[in-house]
Amino acid sequence: MADIILGIESSCDDTSAAVIRDGYLLSNVIASQEVHRSFGGVVPELASRAHELNIVPVVSEALRRAGLAPSDLSAIAFTRGPGLLGSLLVGTSFAKALSLSLNIPMVMVNHLQGHVLADFVKEEGKENRHPAFPYLCLLVSGGNSQIVRVDSPLEFTILGRTIDDAVGEAFDKCSKMLGLGYPGGPIIDRLAKNGDPERFAFTKPRVPGLDYSFSGVKTSLLYFVRDEMAKDPMFLENNKEDICASFQKTLIDILMGKLVRAAKETGIREVTMGGGVSANSALRARLADEGRRRRWNVYIPEFKFTTDNAAMIAIAGYYRYLAGERTSLDVAPVSRESDFE
């Protein structure tokens, strides 16, 4: 009998539901919340309310597109955390209610492990390349920047993480600082395409081991723009593209520096990436290039699996389900990864 998993993702500002059958994706529905745009960032209270509005239609649509009825499901995989607590409560409570009403098990998933396993979502008629174990994943999003070693779909070791801001936060905060809008990553990515990445230099952090830091580079940009604007009030307007390209290159240099070091230290040549920032065109090109030069096998996720989605939650839950994991109904969501176990 087929194993059919419904995945539910509600950790931040996307309500998503996906259905996979024996590892193959049947549907992946994402309702993104536009309500936050005018606030320049996600407003937790508004996010929870939007999830509450979206969750039933999104799950119904995922089942409809999969051509299945609720009674066809084998289990429900849901994001337990990390993320915004109010948002996670909506998905977790919905998963509990559905599990009770259908009398099927539920399996909790660590959102970050979902990102790390996104390459394992198979699609009919596609090549379905995925890394061999063990592999390294550069996990880069609005809330996290990590290098993760993956030994199996259930075994993850965080080799390095940010000690302050996440790289996505650096993109977003700097975009705000430059008056470019939110979310900053895609805007900086677009403007950087026409800019000179070598024109300006920003301070790079000195952090031991495989950890990251992005708060210094942000401050470096702030002071740089402030000083230049004092000399020429049109500086920002006239140099926007070069500033974005140079700033983006600095962030990518920082990310790749530690990733190269992790590959050397572990001897692992299977390399992938995940999370919202892995949609960045320059980062994708750089990873592919670095992979060619260093003879790594590189796996670059499809755009639709880089940002938050339930397909990655469903696949992570699928492996846990196959391994016999079941989550009891008294589970509560957790906002931080360190509270997970």
Residues that bind ligand KG4 (CB under 6 A): 12, 141-143, 168, 171-172, 183-186, 189, 275-277, 279-280, 307-308
- CB neighbour burial string for 307-333, b if at least 16 within 10 angstroms, e if fewer: bbbbbbbbbbbbbbbbeebebeeeeeb
Neighbour count for residue 129 (Cβ, 10 Å): 11
Q: What is the DSSP string of 204-247?
A: PP--STT-B--HHHHHHHHHHHHHHHHH-TTHHHHHHHHHHHHH
* Nearest distance in Å: CB 171, ligand KG4: 5
Burial class of residue 159 (count of CB atoms within 10 Å of its CB; 0-12, 13-18, 19+): buried
Least distance CB 251 / ligand KG4 (angstroms):
8
Task: Assign 16 to helix, strand or coil.
Answer: strand
Shorter beta-carbon distance to ligand KG4: residue 48 or 280 = 280
CB nearer to ligand KG4: pick between 4 and 148: 148
Give 171 or 319: the residue with its C-beta nearer to ligand KG4.
171
Considering the complex, state which of residue 225 and residue 244 has its C-beta at the smaller distance from ligand KG4. Answer: 244
Min separation Cβ 303 and ligand KG4, Å = 9
Of 83 and 131, which has the nearer Cβ to ligand KG4? 83
Cα–Cα nearest to 13, from 60, 48, 55:
48
Residue 172 CB, shortest distance to ligand KG4, in Å, is: 5
The nearest distance, CB 37 to ligand KG4, in angstroms, is 12
For residues 237 and 23, give the distance between their C-alpha atoms in angstroms, rounded to a whole number.
49
